[in-house]
Amino acid sequence: MQDYEQAVFISYAWGGEREEIVNQIDQALQSRGLKIIRDKRDLGYKGSISEFMERIGQGNCVIVVISDKYLRSSNCMFELVEIAEGKQFHDRIFPVVLNDANIYDPMKRIEYVKYWEVKRSELAEAMRTLDPANLQGIRDDMDLYDRIRDKISGLASTLKDMNTLTPDMHKDSDFHELYEGIVMRMQNAATTADVESTSKEKPLTKKERKPMDPITLATAATSLLAPYLKKVGAVAMDKIAEKLPETVGQVWEAISHRSTGAAEAATDLAKNPDDADNEVFFKKQLQKALEKDQDFASQLTDLLEKAKSDSSINIGGDGVVANNNSTAVGKISIGGNVDGNFTIGNNNQVSSK
């Protein structure tokens, strides 16, 4: 067969029957000429686990061996969520569902949702016992638990609706159907790529404009929100938008609904308005969310563009913000009276008069 350059990834939980069937898939597909990428062989000593998992999430063809352990593993679910958040999830995954994966019974699927709710609650409770300054890295785990909790029910429902065949059927055919499905996917992807490469690019309409890059977008949104959040102070999460101007409130609502990590970081910022680290952390969390979710980036770009029509808030250029009738200075500038005049220049320092 043709020597395909695209690799095939395998996402699975180590050990037991899971390891055995992955070894069989690996051998059967490589003997037919497919290049198989799996962590135990290709990650390498001291290789970045998170970067490898992100590579799997971007893979064009990913064999997903679903087991009970897989659905309860943060690393495995990270890979599955990464795949799901990309395009063409249904086309890119090739599931093999093992017998102990209880995705066909709705009551069992609920148990998986509850499992991740409990994991998140336990971590949140433990985090409250620490100084926020000592939570480096742990907030990332909280973000991951949020993502898994929010998506596991839908992902399990999608998988159970696919005719994945049984493990025994795959073994009896020496994984023929799996192989044929992957080859067809690769051929279709190659054809699509050829068509796209030969087609002429059309000028983008306003509706088709690309969102701002995540760094610029996160900086603009942070600069817009930060002064108002400092003014609002400590209020309930679901009440914050009511205390903000309409256009600012819409930005806040988008962030609070699309990124739990950024919303929680904003709450920390509102509670501790004089802590510059909180503002930096909020921007970082928002940037991460925007990098993961292109639709979110487009939505936030549109909301910031919409704010241009607000008589008290003007946004120009690549996220340059001016409040009331002040002049935008440097990359980001906010003026006007919000418990003092705030100006953020290229160095992102805040000053008040």
Based on the fold, state whether residues 322 and 232 are members of the same structural domain: yes
Would you say residue 207 lies in a domain? Answer: no
3-class DSSP state for residue 9?
Answer: strand
**Phi and psi of 311, rounded to 5°?**
-65, -25
Q: How far apart are the first and last CA of the chain?
A: 72
**pTM of the full predicted structure?**
0.56
pLDDT band of 30, cuts 50, 70, 90: very high
Range of the domain at 54: 8-187
Based on the fold, state whether residues 258 and 308 are members of the same structural domain: yes
- Rounded Cα distance, 144 and 138, in Å: 10
Based on the fold, state whether residues 222 and 83 are members of the same structural domain: no
Would you say residue 319 lies in a domain? Answer: yes
- Rounded Cα distance, 75 and 325, in Å: 49
Would you say residue 195 lies in a domain? Answer: no
3-class DSSP state for residue 186?
Answer: helix
The DSSP annotation for 315-353 comes to EETTTEEEETTPPP-SS----S-SSS--EE-TT--EE--
- Indicate left, alpha or beta for 317 from its phi (over 0: left) and psi (-120 to 50: alpha): left
3-class DSSP state for residue 60?
Answer: coil
Based on the fold, state whether residues 240 and 166 are members of the same structural domain: no
Contact in structure between 273 and 229 (CB atoms under 8 Å): yes
Based on the fold, state whether residues 134 and 250 are members of the same structural domain: no
- Rounded Cα distance, 333 and 331, in Å: 7
Task: Report the CATH number at residue 137.
Answer: 3.40.50.10140
Domain count, the chain: 2
- pLDDT for the residue 290: 85
Based on the fold, state whether residues 151 and 252 are members of the same structural domain: no
Would you say residue 202 lies in a domain? Answer: no
pLDDT band of 112, cuts 50, 70, 90: very high
Q: Which two tokens stand for residue 219?
A: 């900086």
- Rounded Cα distance, 307 and 312, in Å: 9
Contact in structure between 211 and 294 (CB atoms under 8 Å): yes
Most confidently modeled range among 38-42, 239-243, 265-269, 334-338 = 38-42
Based on the fold, state whether residues 140 and 247 are members of the same structural domain: no
